[in-house]
Structure 1
Amino acid sequence: MPTSNGYHLDESAHRLGRLAAVPEREVGDRDALRGRLTRDGYLYLRGLLPAAGVQAFREYYFSRIGSADRAEFRKVLFGEIVPGPEYAAFCSQPALRGWFEWFLGGETFLHRRKIIRRTLPGENGIGTATQAHYDLVYLREGTDQVLSAWIPLGDCPVARGGLAYLEGSHHRVLREEAAGRLKRPAASITADLPALADEYDARWLVTDYAAGDVVIHTAHTVHAALDNLSETPRLSTDLRYQRADAPADVRWQQHWHDQDGL
């Protein structure tokens, strides 16, 4: 049974479902993809990136993170990996940047603040997994048309703690944002995913991700991470692309750090 921050997800058919991958016939159809993104709030693109490159970056990461000491871990992560050329190259690789240029129909801008998340087996409890939220609350000083890419760095079955999406949540968020009823501060909504599903009367959508998969989601789509119930570390990265001619949140133009206040 999947959990998030220790909460057991309701596995009934009206509260838990499978994330729908973009069918092969639509992968190269930009209009169909845009319609799907508007309807669903996400695009699950299987095999968008070369799996070998994803695995190579995963191996690079764990080759540098060799110490169990917390201070040493943070020193390497924020001092070497995050600002390093290997990570920069991975996040702007042609298969990714080129897709966004094609999809957005113009020159793109990649936010400098890019995040790598690692969850070890057995870690759970409030504050371990990313709590339910939508990205606009953290990016209000730029365009609301910024798109997030969530990338599992290696195979990530449900038990390893991938990302879950609250089905159709962006429609409600868009309505309430437009009406001024949901001007949330930069904070998560809740760690209690089952209660949020009841509130929205919606399903959490999950799937078994493979290396090379990418999920694109809008700034209004509610999502959260599951706990890692496997025996293998879960590693992922999330980054933000937008059109270069749209306003960008200036606070997101420094390298990510866990004490950057965002």
Structure 2
Amino acid sequence: MLTSNGYTLDDSPSRLGRMEPVPDAIRRDKDALWDRLRRDGYLYLPQQLDPQLVASFREYYFTAMADTGITEHGSDPAVGIGAQGEIDRAKIRAALFDEIVPGERYAALTGHPDIRGWFEWFLGDDVHLHRRKIIRHIRPGESGIGTATQAHYDLVYLRQGSERVLSMWIPLGDCPVEQGGLTYLEGSHHWALAAERERGDRPPAASITADLPALAEAHDARWLLADYRAGDVMVHSSYVVHASTDNVDPQGRIRLSTDIRYQR
């Protein structure tokens, strides 16, 4: 049973499905990738990054968070086992915003040649990395409204930029479905774009809903999931609706991820 913000997802075949990764045969075919992105709203790129690069950053992150209470005392920071006790939110903010986010390790990851170079190739130009870069960790067992990412599409948060911005979501470690990875509402970029262009809708910078099952029902669509591995990335349109599920990982691992945005 999968939940998001406490809502149980409908697991019937008409409401829940699996994402298809980009086939190896077209990984270097730019036109085919653009066709796929326009059709699906996302590109699932397995092993775009060296898994060791991701594993190294995961270990660095949880080492920096060692005295915040989010990881099990004495556990291996490379694994990131979630603790169940109290956390020190002030120390978490300090580690994030004083050390990790402005630090060289995060800059090296988000600007890595396998990321920045890929966008330069795919967009066919010099590229700009948006300052809106987000790192999220979710411990197992956390649930309720506001825990998992609610349904939204990215453009509502990027109104001062170009609508031709692409997001990349990077799981920082293996992230099977039970760990609460990103999920996409199938075909949602078509109706989101149509609403903005045809009716002039400009939704505010806010999520659509925390109730993923109701949104799927309203649009007669499926939420699409995947078992991500360290090194996999997702590239998606600024119009595709996405969210995350709750972390119920039986091994107790924290879900760690980052999302970044590039444009010409």
Counterpart check, 1:236 vs 2:236:
no
Counterpart check, 1:205 vs 2:231:
no
Partner of 2:97: 78
Q: Deviations over 1:43-88 (max 9, x none)?
A: 0000000000000000000000012222111111111101111000
Query: Distance in 2 between the 1:60 and 1:31 partners?
Result: 37
Query: Distance in 1 between the 2:6 and 2:200 partners?
Result: 30
Q: 1:183: how far off?
A: 1.4
Q: Which amino acid aligns with 1:21?
A: P
Q: 1:180: how far off?
A: 2.8
Contact 1:173 1:182 in 2 (8 A): no
Counterpart check, 1:195 vs 2:207:
no
Query: Distance in 1 between the 2:110 and 2:221 partners?
Result: 32
Contact 1:5 1:227 in 2 (8 A): yes
Q: 1:112: how far off?
A: 1.9
Counterpart check, 1:214 vs 2:236:
no
Counterpart check, 1:33 vs 2:54:
no
Q: Deviations over 1:145-164 (max 9, x none)?
A: 00000000000000000000
Query: Distance in 1 between the 2:60 and 2:187 partners?
Result: 37
SS at match of 1:133: coil
Structure 2 unaligned regions, length at least 5: 70-87
State the Cα RMSD in Å. Answer: 0.7
Partner of 1:150: 169
Q: 1:12: how far off?
A: 0.2
Partner of 1:98: 117
Q: Which amino acid aligns with 2:258?
A: T
Query: Distance in 2 between the 1:156 and 1:30 partners?
Result: 27
Size of the alignment, in residue pairs? 243
Identity of aligned residues (%): 62
What does 1:137-176 align with in structure 2 at a 5 Å threshold? Answer: 137-176=156-195
* Stretches of 4+ aligned residues off by more than 4 angstroms: none
TM-score for both structures, normalised by structure 1:
0.92
Q: 1:181: how far off?
A: 4.9
Partner of 1:118: 137
Counterpart check, 1:178 vs 2:197:
yes
Partner of 2:14: 14
Query: Distance in 2 between the 1:10 and 1:26 partners?
Result: 33
Partner of 1:256: none
Contact 1:150 1:237 in 2 (8 A): yes
Query: Distance in 2 between the 1:225 and 1:60 partners?
Result: 24
Partner of 2:50: 50
TM-score for both structures, normalised by structure 2:
0.91
Q: Deviations over 1:150-191 (max 9, x none)?
A: 000000000000000000000001111102353110000000
Partner of 1:260: none
Contact 1:22 1:44 in 2 (8 A): yes
Query: Distance in 1 between the 2:167 and 2:5 partners?
Result: 22
SS at match of 2:97: helix
